[in-house]
Amino acid sequence: GENVEQHPSTLSVQEGDSAVIKCTYSDSASNYFPWYKQELGKRPQLIIDIRSNVGEKKDQRIAVTLNKTAKHFSLHITETQPEDSAVYFCAASKGGANSKLTFGKGITLSVRP
Amino acid sequence: EAGVTQSPTHLIKTRGQQATLRCSPISGHTSVYWYQQALGLGLQFLLWYDEGEERNRGNFPPRFSGRQFPNYSSELNVNALELEDSALYLCASSFGTYTEAFFGQGTRLTVV
């Protein structure tokens, strides 16, 4: 089955700096890659997603890039703010009858004011 | 429009008992996913239901089971509870398998 790994497990950045979180996946048939943000005590919420027919997607301060050949995708957050501090999960899915979202273990991002 | 709702919010059970967790998806969503979030282990996939049928199952023992009702709401049942079943159980719903999944607030299950 699909295996999704996230690196690093924790990341600390200074406010205003950029943060990059990387994920790798194992199943080359996966074609949908969402990113979820989970603040302490709250439910995971989708912040951005990308499908395999595009290589990059941006939404204000966040962007996601996908490298299908290398089977990895990354979340980029620019001009980080303290409210960006949270756990970020990446996931992969290949759609279809037996599809499910497989999540990575999550990365704790801390933004130092 | 209401989001995904789960009940109860908290549940305390003793070892060996059974627990039933409930999930109501967003109106119009036919797929319901269950995940276990134990400390430090991320989101572990439990079960996926779509159109009333179990479509996929994660690497959990058979004492984790569930069902989906005709109105697409879902139940997760955990039998013979063990201490390590203590976790946050999250339900998510989506319209189909290739679209955004929305999470509920979770049920915090504590086994003592």
Cβ–Cβ contact A60 with B under 8 A: no
Inter-chain CB proximity A105 and B48 less than 8 Å? no
Give the tens place of pLDDT for each residue, A45-73. 999 999 888 899 999 999 999 999 999 99
CB contacts, 8 Å: B35 with chain A: 103
DSSP type of residue A82: G
Using alpha carbons, list the distances in angstroms from residue A25 to A17, A99, B56. 27, 15, 19
Q: Where are the beta strands (DSSP E) in chain A?
A: 4-7, 10-14, 19-25, 32-38, 45-51, 56-59, 62-67, 72-77, 86-92, 102-103, 107-112
Cβ–Cβ contact A52 with B under 8 A: no
Give the tens place of pLDDT for each residue, B26-69. 999 999 999 999 987 789 999 999 889 998 899 999 999 999 99
Q: Is the pLDDT of residue B106 over 80?
A: yes
Contact between B46 and B35 (Cβ < 8 Å):
yes
